[in-house]
Amino acid sequence: MIDVLKEASQILLDANNIEENTEKKSERNFVTIYDKNTQAFIKEKLNTFFPDIKFIGEENNCSNENPYENRCFICDPIDGTANFRRKYNHSAISLAYAENGEVISGVVINPYLNEIFYAERNKGAFLNGNKIKVSENHLNSAFVAFGTSPYYPELIKKTGQLIGKILTECEDIRRAGTAALDLCYIACGRHDFFFELSLFPWDYAASMIIIEEAGGIITNRNGDIPPLDKRSEIFAGNKFSYKDFFSKDYLK
Ligand code: IPD
Ligand code: CA
């Protein structure tokens, strides 16, 4: 998985004429030819090594595959397409492997910094070969990252209210534009807490195991493990920031 994503990274790094090769999927949501090409490349490579494992990707409608019944890969070929279109140099490729609905391993690569986050169940989480773990910061000294669920207008006001409340307590906030990396930054202690009110499984499946293996927590508001077959809200942090967040009435 790591080798495939390393190769795929070159597609993002070599991209040009991005705007001419962009289509609108829905309000604020765009797809470039590089999203599609990167996914096609990863899918084909994986298929040559693992022909029996299903593939679920953002760009090919996952409706036919059930991650709870099959062995499957779950892939976001470019997480942070908005950043990618603007040459912001902060996007990622995310790839998880799951068996019967449980994520077994995950890789998230940031081609621009050559940073590779990865984890395998019960084997720890790593950044470029070095073991990583979450911070021990409480919410009152936290860097809180968040996503705005930009494709869902009904969530914008709620997101603003929530961040307004947290900002009165934490050290500062960040909105970097790729959920997969925001979550990996929790795993390595650069961020202390993260929330987004709606994400797809391909945005978080790989980062989820990276956070868990780094000693962190990632759930919905009820404390449930986020699903692999539908959208979910996501709250993630170390055990202190996570507990602090849910001990307040921030979500009311
Ligand atoms: C998006 C990014 C963004 C988050 C959105 C996601 P995409 O993924 O992760 O940070 O706020 O909710 O959809 O669309 O660039 O793959
Ligand atoms: Ca994407």
Give the pLDDT confidence of 153-164 residue by residue, as tens digits: 999 999 999 999
Distance 203 CA to ligand 1 centre (A): 7
Which ligand is closest in space to the CA of residue 196?
1
* Residue identifier of the C-alpha nearest atom 5 of ligand 1: 149
190: tokens are 């650069």
Ligand 1 pocket list (CB less than 6 A): 58, 76, 79-82, 147-150, 177-179, 196, 199, 203
Distance 93 CA to ligand 1 centre (A): 12
Which ligand is closest in space to the CA of residue 36?
2
d(CA 155, CA 97) in angstroms, rounded, equals: 30
d(CA 249, CA 223) in angstroms, rounded, equals: 15
Distance 102 CA to ligand 2 centre (A): 21
74: tokens are 């779950």
pLDDT tens for each residue of the chain, 252 residues long? 999 999 999 999 999 999 999 999 888 889 999 999 999 999 999 999 999 999 999 997 555 688 998 899 999 999 999 999 999 999 999 999 999 999 999 999 999 999 999 999 999 999 999 999 999 999 999 999 999 999 999 999 999 999 999 999 999 999 999 999 999 999 999 999 999 999 999 999 999 999 999 999 999 999 999 999 999 999 999 999 999 999 999 998
Burial class (CB in 10 A: 0-12, 13-18, 19+), 185: buried
